[in-house]
A and B are shown apart, each in its own frame.
Chain A
Amino acid sequence: MPINVSEIEQRLLAAFPEAKVQVSDLTGTGDHYAATVVTTAFENKTLLERHRLVYAALGDSMKGDIHALALTTRTPDEP
């Protein structure tokens, strides 16, 4: 089932309640997205760990609906 920008944002906010989240559809086809997540939950985590947390938040949609997801993962202190 295709997923849209606001569904992705909702899932990210559910996983990171204090986060600032921004999602955009890169191609207009509902399967290539870019997401920026800024949250203190990323403190002291490597990029790999941060990305794994985001993938976990999106769960099953990573198995089919989302083909590509460009991620920017930062804490509020990071540029």
Chain B
Amino acid sequence: MSQMPEELKQRLEDTIKKERVMLFMKGNPSMPQCGFSAAVVAVLKEVGVPFGTFNILSDQDVREGLKLYSNWPTFPQLYVDGQLVGGCDIVRDMHAKGQLAPLLQAPQG
């Protein structure tokens, strides 16, 4: 298993925790570069909580590093309070079941 440079690991952790709700996506909310990323942005806007985004197309180190760090092979990736929630399917499914808004709105105990 290849070692991740400590600097990159720290950068990933800092970025994940930059906002309470943090979306790693392709593109940005005003110009998503992928349908799945756009779909997650739409759901987050519908829930109405503030969220941060990171454009993984702008940084190859973060793009590849995050896949290793979280052991998750695709984007978008949504993190809440530093924890991976999942990708587009999971976000949409949770939202349809009414599970997403409570997760995004409540501070973790």
Q: CB within 8 Å of B: which residues of A?
A: 47-48, 51-52, 55, 62-63, 66-72
- Contact assessment for B89 and A48 in the assembled complex, using a CB-CB cutoff below 8 Å: no
* Given A68-B36, A70-B89, A72-B89, A48 and B73 contact (CB-CB distance below 8 Å): no
Q: Chain B at the A interface: mostly helix, strand, loop or mixed?
A: mixed
Shortest beta-carbon distance from A11 to chain B in Å: 14
| Residue in A closest to B92 when the chains form the complex, CB atoms | A70
Tally B residues with Cβ within 8 Å of A.
15
Q: CB within 8 Å of A: which residues of B?
A: 34, 36, 71-74, 84-90, 93-94
- Contact assessment for A48 and B36 in the assembled complex, using a CB-CB cutoff below 8 Å: no
Cα distance A55–B72 when bound, in Å? 8
Shortest beta-carbon distance from B37 to chain A in Å: 11
21 contacts between A and B (CB under 8 A): A47-B89, A47-B90, A47-B94, A48-B84, A48-B85, A48-B86, A48-B90, A51-B86, A51-B87, A52-B71, A55-B72, A62-B73, A62-B74, A63-B73, A66-B73, A67-B74, A68-B34, A68-B74, A69-B74, A70-B36, A70-B89
Cα distance A58–B8 when bound, in Å? 27
Shortest beta-carbon distance from B30 to chain A in Å: 22
Contacts of A69 in B (CB 8 A): 74
Contacts of B36 in A (CB 8 A): 68, 70
Cα distance A55–B85 when bound, in Å? 15
* Given A47-B93, A47-B94, A70 and B88 contact (CB-CB distance below 8 Å): yes
Contacts of B86 in A (CB 8 A): 47-48, 51
Shortest beta-carbon distance from A31 to chain B in Å: 11
Contacts of B87 in A (CB 8 A): 51
